[in-house]
Amino acid sequence: MAIQISADQRTFTLQTKSSSYQMAVDAYGVLLHLYYGKKIEAENLEYLIYKSDVGFSGNPVEAGKDRTYSLDCLPQELPSSGVGDFREEMIRLYHEDGSCAADFRYEGYEVVKGSYEIPGLPAVYDTEQETGETLIITMREVSSDIKVKLYYGVMEEENVITRSACVCNCGTKKVVLDQLLSCNLDFMFGTYDMIYFYGRHAMERNLERVPVKGAKVEIGSRRGTSSHQYNPAVILCPPETTEKNGDCYGLCFAYSGNFTARAQRDQRNQTRVQMGIQPDQFRFVLEGGETFFAPQVIMSYSSEGFTALSHQYHDLIREHICRGPWKHAKRPALINNWEATYFAFNKEKILKIARQAKELGIEMLVLDDGWFGKRDDDYSGLGDWFVNEKKLEGTLAELSSEIHAMGMKFGLWFEPEMVSEDSDLYRAHPDWALQIPGRQPNRARYQLVLDMSRKEVVDYLYNQISDVLEKASVDYVKWDMNRSVCDFYSSKLPAERMGEIPHRFVLGVYDLAERLLKRFPQLLLEGCSGGGGRFDAGMLYYAPQIWCSDNTDAVNRLDIQYGTSFFYPTSTMGAHVSAVPNHQTGRITPFATRGNVAMAGTFGYELDLNLVTDEEKAMVKEQLAQFDRFYDLTHEGDYYRLTAPKEGELMVWEFVAKDKSKAVSGVVKTDAQGNPLPLHVPVAGLAPDRKYHCSYNGSVHTGSVWNNCGLTLVEIPKEYESLLIEWTEAE
């Protein structure tokens, strides 16, 4: 059984295929965290706790004269504020009298078949092939009418345990929730590193690894979105853990707004790890009878290094986060007009791009920014989601019809959450924008942010966007979001509730996405926020692919896609072939390399194919054929990171079929030196006892040989040149 409960109903052990998680209720009703790691028997592990008199830590009254019992030293599932645990709390609340003490003790539990849902928020869901199991533990605050329900969802085969919590004000007195994180992990023993993924616009998700010591390691976002600067996913691991070996713990936040992820070693060398909504801009008022739900954290453990951990997340996200008909269906290879035309297009320019793309075998044309309202630059038009028929020389439906008549799908760009001050919408409803009375608003990209916490705003967007999608028969939407959010103020909420806006904003975004997908169930939605500024498991619940970065430079994309791959499968990474010199870096890379790098993603083109050479047009046809041939590998297979950025002259990655029958490796030469040394290509994931043919040199060896010995290149590629190497099972 996935959830095992002791005979005295005080010890709870969660079992996945390869991991165990245990907690127990102690004599005073405190819920202790005892173990998370490699799978073990469900035996009580309270013997691991060492108690001693720790000066200045304090003792609860129930402990009497036992000075060795202190919340400040115990590993807990729900550490709270003001009652003797001086470490970082998971929950902090203020009572009506202004005090903030919260002492939660065990009240009861229930086990529910299936995965749990969270109202208004994304969450791991069951499929017909696999269902989860949920443990709900209720904790009661000893001096008030506040209860917390802790949710533990177990996906046994996926090696995943999900965490969430909800706070219920069961009384009549108002309570202010000042912090509620989604999970807390206390490791009693061990030395750990924390791996996180940092960056900036156009250079997202760079890996950084730091030791967890007495000073707190913390990342997060206050930008209203999960952000380009930090991704809401971290790994905790011992210093010796590598791609192939060692323990590692992943925490991935299924949420698209402000977040925190932090770790710290305490005075007894215990390590506390937490993740949840960023508390600095959070303050939620709970009247009597009201409940607040925390977003979900997806946890996974591997004893076999980062690669195995990534495979667990990839499988989970593909199967239990991504939804809808495009979850496994082949995504169309597309052409986007943005870098070909920017705002300067008309109907004939778009049709000319579409005709050439169709001739080469591309399956969808996406019309980017500039088709609506008064929108010929960044200064105006956002919010006016009606077609600029003068610019398009007719209706959008007519353009869409002509694209469809070519046998192509038609896609469209939107930026629903934004408004330009020079727009009909803003002139009619200036109070719909987030801005503080008496202050000049902060602008970014010359635009303001709509108050998505307001139902009438979401309703307006739903009606306007639905009208466009229906009339024009749109197959795909690129949902962009091109600035960080500040000026959190809503004319619809009282002053004491302004701290609710960042979270209510995210709920409004999710509500709009859910409503659109219900009305247009066949729609392929791609997320975007200046590229990868909102690349998280929360958005993947609605959009099965996200534009990985606005940086389309193939060499930079190697680093960006490398970092992204630790948690997110390549089937979710929007990646395109773009023009050279590259519009972001000015770098010139071979057309083949741009194609090979983009093939480790959803694949498409971001350039005017009428301007490329005949040789490159032939390469487009070849790349599209490769995209089709390798699709089941790149979108459904296991992904291996075989080299790391800036640690050699090559970047190498590999996709292996689930049945081990075939594989394909991508190789890019990232550096060049005089008098070059031999280059070695690592190989991984092939079945050791089967034989495989290598397309590069024609030789056949067992998977054991390839995996352990790799491949030496017989010719040294030039800088930025690349190879695709196929491995096929031999007779």
Q: Which residues are catalytic?
A: 536, 616
Assess whether the previous peptide bond of 581 is cis (omega < 30° from 0).
Answer: yes
Q: Within 10 Å of residue 215's Cβ, how many Cβ atoms?
A: 9
- C-alpha 449/C-alpha 433 separation (Å) is 6
- C-alpha 514/C-alpha 576 separation (Å) is 27
- C-alpha 107/C-alpha 85 separation (Å) is 20
Say which residue the tokens 């003068």 belong to: 390
- C-alpha 321/C-alpha 299 separation (Å) is 14
Enter the DSSP assignment of 452: T
Question: Minimal CA–CA distance to 423: which of 381, 370, 482?
Answer: 381
- C-alpha 323/C-alpha 317 separation (Å) is 9
> Which conformational region is residue 556 in: left (phi greater than 0), alpha (psi within -120 to 50 degrees), or beta?
alpha
**693: which strand partners?**
700, 728
- C-alpha 641/C-alpha 653 separation (Å) is 5
For 444-486, give the DSSP string: BTTBEEB-TTSHHHHHHHHHHHHHHHHHHT--EEEE---S---
At 231, list the tokens.
Answer: 């991704």
∠ CA 84-288-275 to the nearest 5 degrees?
45
SS3 5: strand
> Which conformational region is residue 562 in: left (phi greater than 0), alpha (psi within -120 to 50 degrees), or beta?
alpha
Structural contact between residues 334 and 364, judged by C-beta atoms closer than 8 angstroms: yes
At 265, list the tokens.
Answer: 């070693």
- C-alpha 611/C-alpha 357 separation (Å) is 12
Dihedral pair phi/psi, residue 708, rounded to 5°? -95, -25
β 577-578/31-38 pair status = unpaired
∠ CA 446-450-453 to the nearest 5 degrees?
155
Dihedral pair phi/psi, residue 18, rounded to 5°? -130, 5
Residues 6+ apart with CB under 8 A from 467: none
Say which residue the tokens 């209510």 belong to: 504
The angle, 0 to 180 degrees and rounded to 10, between the axes of the packed helices 554-564 and 591-598 is 10
- C-alpha 38/C-alpha 15 separation (Å) is 10
- C-alpha 71/C-alpha 282 separation (Å) is 26
- C-alpha 207/C-alpha 410 separation (Å) is 36
∠ CA 382-205-640 to the nearest 5 degrees?
125
Structural contact between residues 619 and 592, judged by C-beta atoms closer than 8 angstroms: yes
Give the number of residues written for the chain: 731
- C-alpha 214/C-alpha 223 separation (Å) is 27
> Which conformational region is residue 720 in: left (phi greater than 0), alpha (psi within -120 to 50 degrees), or beta?
left
Structural contact between residues 279 and 92, judged by C-beta atoms closer than 8 angstroms: yes
